[in-house]
Amino acid sequence: MPDASARIWVILGGLLLMAVVVVALRWTFGTDRQVPTARLADPDDPDAFGLLEEVSRVPGAIAAEVLQGRLAAAGIRATLSRDGPAYRILVFPDDLKAARVVLSRGALG
């Protein structure tokens, strides 16, 4: 039968191990207050495209594919969406400014 001091060390060791696990889990899965919260799209909005934003709208499929190709050549991912007879070119918000620059340069040259 272990003596009282051995039991105390076992209990203290177990508590220390639990504290280390709690700190590790908090560090791994804890929330960071500096991370901006994502803007959530309204699921009931028929014009919402989730995280994507419209950078251009063109009247035909060929024009939409040409613009999508220009964006792809510049390394910008783009998605096409049909809206009646028109097509929307959609990009992620981080790529919106660069996509506008690429598409405006294409119109000039």
Work out the pLDDT band at 22, boundaries 50, 70, 90.
Answer: very high
CATH topology of domain 53-108: Alpha-Beta Plaits (3.30.70)
Mean pLDDT, to the nearest integer, of 78-107? 88
- Tokens linked to 3: 């003596």
**How far are the Cα atoms of 9, 53, 56 from residue 91, in angstroms, in the given order?**
59, 5, 10
Residue 31 has pLDDT above 90, yes or no: no
pLDDT score for 6 = 86
- For the full predicted model, state whether its pTM sits above 0.75: no
Boundaries of every domain in the chain: 1-30, 53-108
Provide the pLDDT for residue 94: 92
**Mean pLDDT score of the chain, rounded to an integer?**
83
Residue 63 host element (H or E): helix 61-73
